[in-house]
Amino acid sequence: MRKGRPLTVHTLNELLLVCSLVLLVAVAAVRISSRSGLPSLLIYLGIGIAIGQDGIGNVVFDNAELTQVIGYAALVVILAEGGLGTKWKEIKPALPAAIVLSLVGVAVSVGITAAGAHYLVGLEWRQALLIGAVVSSTDAAAVFSVLRKVPLPSRITGVLEAESGFNDAPVVILVVAFATVGPIDDWYVLLGTIALELAIGVAIGLTVGFVGAYGLRHVALPASGLYPIAVMAIAVTAYAAGAMAHGSGFLAVYLAAMVLGNARLPHWPATRGFADGLGWIAQIGMFVLLGLLVTPHELVHDFWPAVIIGLVLTMVARPLEVFVSLLPFRIPWREQALMSWAGLRGAVPIILATIPMVSGIEGSDRVFNIVFVLVVVYTLVQGPTLPWLARKLELGATDESASDLGIESAPLEKLRGHLLSFAIPAASRMHGVEVSELRLPPGASVTLVVREGKSFVPLPSTVLRRGDELLVVATDPVRDAAEARLRAVARGGKLAGWLGTGGNGSTRSRG
């Protein structure tokens, strides 16, 4: 990293001003990201580079150890937020395939990518193995930010989401092993270490999650605002306990958050919104810091090596790991093709690339630069083309009619019910359906319709129109069934049930 005179901040007011301006610009960049189809990580990395030592801000920052610590903390928050938003009923069918892809697939990817880095680029084996391990971790936020407008079969989204949550754990173990000064452990020692740490992480994550969920359901906190804080604290506790027990803290926090997210906790909408906001702040801070750490003029020398290694990873290693891992599950080739192209790399590889820098491994600066360029270049290539590929493979809708309803849910705790609210999209097949034709389960009813700024109580014969906003009250036992039915009608119209159109399609909207 290049040394220079750092930009200093003299007062707390100046520090707050700088941080608030960066945050405002980053939040505004979310809109650019959503309109362009690019993952938001590129926008935030660009902000960090722009204010860095080769940019307009001339801020010199080269503390890899601090970046690693902050990056780990941000990853804990991001994994917790992802786990809280994971629906067990959607991910359960895809779990076996995702686990195999996260273990066997990582091994295949590391081996092929490392071989390419060694024989095609000329890196030493330790550096090649480090790069192979670092870039083997996929990123859920990057994947789903570009797929948010393309509804896909739940099997694809389930596998991709679970893989991105699970594969961080073995990858971190491999990177730490390869970055240890001295000879690298034998392969069977690494396999044993991975198996042990994953088992400890699973045990602690599930235990903390179930105990925490039980406590939150049976202990009344004095203020509703404490529930979101308590949920995040429980998730972070799972990470800390897993790491202190020499297990996988990342796997522990993801599983604990997933248990909490499916436990029907009090004040859940507030908790979900709080976690989502923390996830955004963690992403913004992490990516901006990574952009600050990199020295742009040094990237030129490692551009083509990164492109070559990226080609090996994208065109050979990723498709082969998907094929080998999913062979026992008989997944159609079109879905395998999309999963192969959807192996986006995000913040995790760049954060992991700081581990050999902190360990003092020879050539670690070059490893970091190659990983940084690889992530940026191939996210630029893969990100915008993912929706196009999904449509070409006939796995995504060609219009907005299948777009998922943005249903908001608020608990009516004393009444033991839920208030569901949503707006009918412009091209939704719910347009023209009568209220009675929604065929909601007993215990759920449309109580209010807002049309052109005026609200009224609908009759069974009221015809719904595009742009209508609906309020649906559902008792607690039928809440999920009512939401599933609404999504089914939005996708298949009034004949959704008879035509076999389900309401469990999943699109994950993450920035």
Model pLDDT for residues 184-217, shown as the tens digit of each residue: 667 777 788 888 988 999 999 999 999 999 998 8
> Which of 204, 189, 195, 191 is closest to 235 using CA atoms?
204
Residue 236: other Cβ atoms inside 10 A: 19
Sign of the four-CA dihedral 359, 302, 372, 15: positive
pTM: 0.76
Q: Does residue 134 surpass a pLDDT of 90?
A: yes
How much is the average pLDDT of 291-317?
90
Bridge partners of 419? 410, 473
> To 10 degrees, what angle do helices 249-261 and 64-84 make?
30
- Report pLDDT for 4: 44
Q: Does residue 10 surpass a pLDDT of 60?
A: no
Compute the mean pLDDT over every residue in the chain, rounded to the nearest whole number.
81
Higher-pLDDT residue of 318, 68: 318
Bridge partners of 445? 473
- Counting Cα atoms < 13 Å in the Cβ hemisphere of 93 gives 10
Q: pLDDT of 479-509, one tens digit each?
A: 888 888 898 888 888 777 654 444 444 333 3
DSSP state letter for 463:
B
Residues sharing a CB contact under 8 Å with residue 17, sequence separation 6 or more, in sequence order: none
> To 10 degrees, what angle do helices 364-392 and 125-134 make?
40
Q: pLDDT of 392-415, one tens digit each?
A: 888 865 444 445 566 666 666 566
CA 345, CA 186: separation in Å to the nearest integer?
28
